[in-house]
Amino acid sequence: MESWDKIISMPLPGRTTKPRNSGYTMVIDKGLGVRAIEDLMETASNWIDNIKLTFGTSAFYQENLLRKKIDIITSAGIDIMPGGTYLEVAFWQGVLDNYLNKARQLGFTAMEVSDGTISIESNERENIIKKALDMDFKVITEVGKKDAKESLPHSKMHKLIAQDIRNGAFKVIIEAREAGKGVGIYDSSGAVKENDVNEIISGVEDIDCLLWEAPIKNQQQYLILKFGANVNLGNIPPDDILALEALRQGLRGDTLKRAYLKNPNYT
Amino acid sequence: MESWDKIISMPLPGRTTKPRNSGYTMVIDKGLGVRAIEDLMETASNWIDNIKLTFGTSAFYQENLLRKKIDIITSAGIDIMPGGTYLEVAFWQGVLDNYLNKARQLGFTAMEVSDGTISIESNERENIIKKALDMDFKVITEVGKKDAKESLPHSKMHKLIAQDIRNGAFKVIIEAREAGKGVGIYDSSGAVKENDVNEIISGVEDIDCLLWEAPIKNQQQYLILKFGANVNLGNIPPDDILALEALRQGLRGDTLKRAYLKNPNYT
Amino acid sequence: MESWDKIISMPLPGRTTKPRNSGYTMVIDKGLGVRAIEDLMETASNWIDNIKLTFGTSAFYQENLLRKKIDIITSAGIDIMPGGTYLEVAFWQGVLDNYLNKARQLGFTAMEVSDGTISIESNERENIIKKALDMDFKVITEVGKKDAKESLPHSKMHKLIAQDIRNGAFKVIIEAREAGKGVGIYDSSGAVKENDVNEIISGVEDIDCLLWEAPIKNQQQYLILKFGANVNLGNIPPDDILALEALRQGLRGDTLKRAYLKNPNYT
């Protein structure tokens, strides 16, 4: 008998396949064990492009376990990177080269370059990106401060995004932290501040360059309805990957409804 | 030595055993892998009656994996059904028969019939229920819209519930979505709107016909304290099954307290 | 090549190692299966001191499974205890001795003694602690009521803490329930009520005696910033252990920032 996706068409069609330039999904991993990672690979590896071992959590694994986990993930065709905070600590402590070498040796394939907590001057940022690229990492940078009191002006954000892309970054993350509340484009309840989204995109040449951290469902829904099924999303909790895919492709009420209202008689 | 349940009596006694007509627990599954499902079966299969692969998430599994997962679940004496949204999409696209056949072939044992997003006329709903029953599915229908702006009048809800039961539905779900906030009997913070609960039950002959979606603990607690240990509850997150069972049987403060206050000296 | 922790220094140094008297981490377990427990042991056993099978959830395991789970946990050098509520039920029903014997036989190594729901007089509390100590359990008591309407005066709390420690308790838990909202030192949104924290510690001789339930990140962050990396924390969700460790050791923005601002040039 036909497979299920031959019987039913996706209400929001056009979902990209791996390797993706748009429709990128980055998972936030706070410490999944190998059994949980094997479960995740079996159920969802088609829908995951990148797994981030967030904050400095990579520091707490036994090396053997970390290598094994990285191996399972990369074998499934998924990039893996340490959290940007760990790189910031290495930069601050003046041990960036050793840090990058160790990450390479462990098997990490991507590198997040951020300045969410530690100040990093523009020329130093450029230098870090260059070093990581030279070592064959896929570089994903981030704009935005973790502390709401230090929010970045949009004009500066536009400049930084353009510069990072010019310097070879694959994507630029719009910071929202693990919680997605009271930071960047989200208010303290996690609702999207539409003006901020519009101001950000007004100064960006290619929207596919942006990777929006969107840990909460209403955020994912807003961004999918605004930018389409193939918006780039990050900080997705591992348990939510199939639910996100249902949102992206219109198999969940919130995004199905738009497709249905456009064509109620399905012709 | 005696087993633990011989030593200590359940503060709220009378919990039903499987197969249950009342005290039914339906789990919301957003994409558990087989290791997580095996863990769940080992720790909690006695306390689970039905697992719903929610929204259209069933669409995203490799067929082999889906068959394996369904097999583990049904072998533990638990019903499994796709989310109602996926059936709504099939109905809308005019491929309902193929959809039901495929679900049967994959091993699903129950079918959720809803109209949370897609409009389905009363006679068509009757027809869907009949088809699913003819194919030997346990049919569980749902009343309520996913979009808070379209909430169903209680009189219409009463009529629909009576009609579905008459047509052979095993239970009728009172919709609350995955989040349990700002929908059906719950306000935007997830608190129970008691008037709404009372109005719904005022027009229902047999309360055991209702299956209340109650993803949040305070909702489960309210419904257990109102209707007893054996109220039917749905959209329970997999991690919360033993915690729910502790609530049902009085081994958690919130429901233990009532039993204790009735009989402080335990005579 | 050097291991990662040789390359990068922990921004908040001085983290204790096992067995710990301070910096104790207690996990709240609502029903993890053996695969999830094995994952947790492999990724995080160095950072976990105690696992609590919360509420009366221990009642719902098959005995073989419970023994297996306890064995995996204790073999990793971690204490395990049933939730205090289950002991309260046993006390109320007059079967405390049998309860403790059964727990011992099953392999539990620690015992939580609380009166969150059931009233227990001071001399009876002393007696329970003594019995549990005589049976070689590590005793961890708890102060605070589960029902916000019954909150304990601080003077009474101080007396109880001093008495429990004198009677041999290893730590005294400051109650916050699973949710950490509207109970003890947390307001209804989960924010810390600083005055309450200060009043509690004002009457306590040795702060290392206290084990603060802190299920939410902002609570963990507050307590770490106030008391240091080695504050004792409990009711930590299993998924958050490495994230908590990053907070404790300064590998997460919120606590890294303080270390960075003190020494921006890292000399």
The percent of residues in chain C predicted with pLDDT above 90, rounded, is 94
Per-residue pLDDT, averaged over C218-230, amounts to: 98
C159 vs C194: CA distance, rounded Å? 21
- B155-212 pLDDT, tens digit per residue, is 999 999 999 999 999 999 999 999 999 999 999 999 999 999 999 999 999 999 999 9
At residue B64, the pLDDT reads 97
Per-residue pLDDT, averaged over A84-94, amounts to: 98
Q: Which of A1, A39, A239 lies nearest to residue B34, judging by beta carbons? A: A39
Contact check, Cβ <8 Å, A7/B102 = yes
Question: CA of A65 to nearest chain C CA: how many angstroms apart?
Answer: 8
Contact check, Cβ <8 Å, B8/C178 = no
Question: CA of C249 to nearest chain A CA: how many angstroms apart?
Answer: 9
pLDDT at A151 over 90: no
Is C266 in contact with A93 (CB distance < 8 Å)? yes
Is A108 in contact with A69 (CB distance < 8 Å)? no
The percent of residues in chain A predicted with pLDDT above 90, rounded, is 94
pLDDT at A150 over 90: no
B55 vs C99: CA distance, rounded Å? 44
| Inter-chain contacts counted by CB atoms under 8 A, chains B and C | 114
Beta partners for residue C113, in sequence order: C141
Chain A positions touching C239 (Cβ under 8 A) are 30-31
Per-residue pLDDT, averaged over A20-30, amounts to: 98
At residue B217, the pLDDT reads 97
Burial of B195 (C-beta count, 10 Å sphere; 0-12/13-18/19+): exposed
Question: CA of B22 to nearest chain A CA: how many angstroms apart?
Answer: 29
Per-residue pLDDT, averaged over A91-120, amounts to: 97
Per-residue pLDDT, averaged over B7-11, amounts to: 97
Best C69, C72, C85 member to test B by mutation, with max B CBs in 10 Å, is: C85
Reduce the DSSP state of residue C82 to 3 states and report it: strand
C95 vs C89: CA distance, rounded Å? 9
Contact check, Cβ <8 Å, A147/C36 = no
Is A43 in contact with A72 (CB distance < 8 Å)? no
Q: Which residues contact A106 (CB under 8 A, 6 or more apart)?
A: A63, A66, A67, A70, C4
pLDDT at C149 over 90: no
C interface toward A at CB cutoff 8 Å? 1-5, 7-11, 35-36, 38-40, 42-44, 46-47, 217, 239-243, 245-246, 249-254, 256-257, 260, 264, 266
At residue C1, the pLDDT reads 80
User: In chain B, whose CA is at the least distance from the CA of A35?
Assistant: B35
- B207-234 pLDDT, tens digit per residue, is 999 999 999 999 999 999 999 999 999 9
Question: CA of B201 to nearest chain C CA: how many angstroms apart?
Answer: 29
Is C51 in contact with C27 (CB distance < 8 Å)? yes
CA dihedral A114, A120, A123, A126 (to 10 degrees): -20
Chain A positions touching B101 (Cβ under 8 A) are 1
Which of A123-127, C26-30, C133-137, C175-179 is predicted with the least confidence, judged by mean pLDDT? C175-179
Contact check, Cβ <8 Å, A117/C256 = yes
Per-residue pLDDT, averaged over B124-129, amounts to: 98
Chain B positions touching C117 (Cβ under 8 A) are 253, 256-257, 260
Is the bond into A215 cis (omega within 30 degrees of 0)? no
Q: Residues A138-158, buried b or exposed e (16+ Cβ, 10 A)?
A: bbbbbbbbbeeeeeeeeeebb
At residue B80, the pLDDT reads 98
- Which secondary-structure segment (H or E) carries B194? helix B194-202
Per-residue pLDDT, averaged over C230-249, amounts to: 98
User: In chain C, whose CA is at the least distance from the CA of B249?
Assistant: C56
Per-residue pLDDT, averaged over B16-26, amounts to: 97
pLDDT band at A145 (very low <50, low <70, confident <90, very high): confident
**Angle, in degrees to the nearest 10, between helices A63-75 and A34-44:** 10
B interface toward C at CB cutoff 8 Å? 1-5, 7-11, 35-36, 38-40, 42-44, 46-47, 217, 239-243, 245-246, 249-254, 256-257, 260, 264, 266
pLDDT at B152 over 90: no
CA-wise closest residue to A31 among A77, A68, A69: A69
- Which secondary-structure segment (H or E) carries C233? strand C233-236
Question: CA of C251 to nearest chain A CA: how many angstroms apart?
Answer: 5
pLDDT at A37 over 90: yes
- B56-71 pLDDT, tens digit per residue, is 999 999 999 999 999 9
User: In chain A, whose CA is at the least distance from the CA of B86?
Assistant: A251
pLDDT at A247 over 90: yes
pLDDT at C265 over 90: yes
At residue B147, the pLDDT reads 83
pLDDT at C43 over 90: yes
Is C257 in contact with C225 (CB distance < 8 Å)? no
Best C28, C29, C30 member to test B by mutation, with max B CBs in 10 Å, is: C30
CA-wise closest residue to B254 among B9, B7, B12: B12
Question: CA of C6 to nearest chain B CA: how many angstroms apart?
Answer: 35
Q: What is the mean pLDDT of chain B?
A: 96
- Which secondary-structure segment (H or E) carries B213? strand B210-213
Contact check, Cβ <8 Å, A35/C40 = no
Is C123 in contact with C94 (CB distance < 8 Å)? no
Is B79 in contact with B18 (CB distance < 8 Å)? no
Contact check, Cβ <8 Å, C243/A31 = yes
The DSSP symbol for C226 reads: H
User: In chain C, whose CA is at the least distance from the CA of B266?
Assistant: C93
Q: Which of B32, B60, B90 lies nearest to residue A8, judging by beta carbons? A: B90
- C69-91 pLDDT, tens digit per residue, is 999 999 999 999 999 999 999 99
Q: Which of B57, B61, B177 lies nearest to residue A246, judging by beta carbons? A: B57
B211 φψ region: left (φ > 0), alpha (ψ -120 to 50), beta (else): beta
Is C85 in contact with C117 (CB distance < 8 Å)? yes
C78 vs C138: CA distance, rounded Å? 12
pLDDT band at C154 (very low <50, low <70, confident <90, very high): very high
The DSSP symbol for C183 reads: B
At residue C5, the pLDDT reads 87
C81 vs C94: CA distance, rounded Å? 20
Helical spans, DSSP H, in chain A: 4-7, 34-44, 63-75, 84-92, 96-106, 122-134, 154-166, 194-202, 217-227, 241-249, 253-262
pLDDT band at A146 (very low <50, low <70, confident <90, very high): confident
Chain C positions touching A89 (Cβ under 8 A) are 8, 11, 250-251, 256
Chain A positions touching C2 (Cβ under 8 A) are 98, 102
Contact check, Cβ <8 Å, B55/A2 = no
C167 φψ region: left (φ > 0), alpha (ψ -120 to 50), beta (else): alpha
Burial of A67 (C-beta count, 10 Å sphere; 0-12/13-18/19+): middle
Dihedral of alpha carbons A197, A199, A201, A204, sign:
negative
pLDDT band at B150 (very low <50, low <70, confident <90, very high): confident
At residue C21, the pLDDT reads 96
pLDDT at A21 over 90: yes
Chain A positions touching B36 (Cβ under 8 A) are 36, 39
Q: Which residues contact C234 (CB under 8 A, 6 or more apart)?
A: C24, C25, C26, C28, C50, C52, C173, C211, C212, C213, C214
pLDDT at C98 over 90: yes
- A163-202 pLDDT, tens digit per residue, is 999 999 999 999 999 999 999 999 999 999 999 999 999 9
ipTM, 2 dp: 0.97
pLDDT band at C63 (very low <50, low <70, confident <90, very high): very high
Is A73 in contact with A80 (CB distance < 8 Å)? yes
Task: Give B13-69 as a 3 state SS string.
Answer: CCCCCCCCCCCCEEEEECCCCHHHHHHHHHHHHHHCCEEEECCCHHHHCCHHHHHHH
User: Strand runs (DSSP E) across B99-144, as ranges?
Assistant: 110-113, 138-143
The percent of residues in chain B predicted with pLDDT above 90, rounded, is 94
At residue C241, the pLDDT reads 98
At residue B204, the pLDDT reads 96
**Angle, in degrees to the nearest 10, between helices C96-106 and C84-92:** 140
- Can you give the pTM of this predicted structure? 0.97
Chain A positions touching B116 (Cβ under 8 A) are 253
User: Cα-atom radius of gyration of chain A, to the nearest Å?
Assistant: 19
Is C248 in contact with C223 (CB distance < 8 Å)? no
Contact check, Cβ <8 Å, C46/A60 = yes
pLDDT at C152 over 90: no
Question: CA of B31 to nearest chain A CA: how many angstroms apart?
Answer: 6
Question: CA of B92 to nearest chain C CA: how many angstroms apart?
Answer: 40
